[in-house]
A and B are shown apart, each in its own frame.
Chain A
């Protein structure tokens, strides 16, 4: 699905050679500040490599329209950013930006249930805690249909039970629909449990590692 060819991003990260396979779950491991988020942002074209080339389905990323690409390679940010308004407004934000039709409230409520967020749709987002915002941001991304999902530490501010439940559901859903997932985590246990492939960043170099 993705292929890196001698990629460098400033002096922060090098990816000499790497492929990310379609229809699989790839975990991205590395210490804090090692460049995991940066690598993810190169995949959805939020930033572009300083040197080298990334291919998506064998086409160079720089030839692909950035906006359309981000709709296909959908990222869940590390820190949840909320837009002004209610839980409903935030769930619908992605669809609003893409000018797609909104689903019924029942679909939205089911999504809240799926990400284990027990709040009414009309609740103003300012009242949510950090962990609740993170689950809302996840729900917002899962409402959008995309072949590739990039998730940047989706469970970092959740307690262990909720984290396990949420990641269980994400991975089950990805496998069921045959999607591709790149999951950033700093937990080796999570990586081993859920992923088909593991990529690790060490000393500013990203490389595939045996599972």
Chain B
């Protein structure tokens, strides 16, 4: 394989032509989105440049505390992103469930993936740890968001049926069975669909990145398969934890709806 073809600043700047074209189109059509487009492009650039320098520093100075610090930051960010999305609609108990589910589900899968599957050494090697943690946490966060949405919607829309089931003598788990199945389905389907389409409909970002930077496609694919399974496992585990623990927050200990 060839080595990596470095992009100069000028070349990157040339890519901004795409933004200019879109800006010209929206301006001509009178769609008032210039500010948002500019802001998004500039923010993306600045954020990635900063992260780039940060990662260079972190990779050159591997340190377990920095790695652990970064993963904690990622978890906190993921948890608060979900909270923000459902502002004012989550009970305190459900928030605790979300925080516990995201962190325990992703950490379990992350460490299994890094230490048992990839077997990195040292265990905190940031070059592997950070990007893989990012993918696992990011995807799990999306799955949990979808799950929480479906769960809270289901418990609102179908409240009367759940209550009627309780009246007829159903245990709470039995009364909410349909809602839980729908929730699991809607939270896990995007991940399943992306596995189905992978390699045919699209080439996943991580693999594309590795190939562009000179890795053999077969090596990149081996990683992609492994990481995809890791992501799948983590999403499923996080969603199951959220559902099973989360549904309890809708009932009190006398098996009545709150």
Contacts and interface: CB of A to CB of B under 8 A. Distances in A.
A144 interface: yes
B257 to A, nearest CB: 8
Interface residues of B, number: 17
B58 interface: no
Nearest to B169: A71
- Judged by DSSP, the binding face of B is helix
B254 interface: yes
Given A67-B169, A70-B166, A71-B169, A97 B175 contact: yes
A93 interface: yes
- Judged by DSSP, the binding face of A is mixed
Contacts of B254: 45, 48, 62, 66
B34 interface: no
Interface string B131-165: 00000000000000000000000000000110111
Contact of A75 (B167, B171, B256): B167
A70 B169 contact: yes
A140 B167 contact: no
Interface string B201-229: 00000000000000000000000000000
A81 B168 CA distance: 11
A47 interface: yes
Nearest to A76: B167
Contacts of A93: 165, 168
Given A81-B160, A81-B163, A97-B174, A66 B168 contact: no
Residue picked from B168, B170, B174, most chain A C-beta under 10 Å: B168
Given A46-B256, A81-B161, A67 B171 contact: yes
Contacts of A98: 168-170
A147 interface: no
B176 to A, nearest CB: 11
Nearest to A48: B254
Given A81-B160, A97-B174, A67 B255 contact: yes
B256 A45 contact: yes
B256 A81 contact: no
Interface residues of A, number: 22
Given A46-B167, A93-B168, A97-B175, A66 B256 contact: yes
Contact of A81 (B164, B169, B172, B174): B164
A97 B167 CA distance: 10
B167 A70 contact: yes
Interface in A49-103: 62, 66-67, 70-71, 74-75, 77, 81, 83, 93-94, 97-98
B227 to A, nearest CB: 39
A180 interface: no
Given A67-B166, A97-B170, 17 more contacts: A44-B167, A45-B254, A46-B166, A46-B167, A48-B254, A62-B254, A67-B169, A67-B170, A67-B255, A70-B168, A71-B169, A74-B168, A77-B164, A81-B164, A97-B175, A98-B169, A144-B168
12 contacts: A44-B167, A46-B163, A47-B256, A48-B256, A67-B169, A67-B171, A70-B166, A71-B169, A94-B168, A97-B168, A97-B169, A98-B169
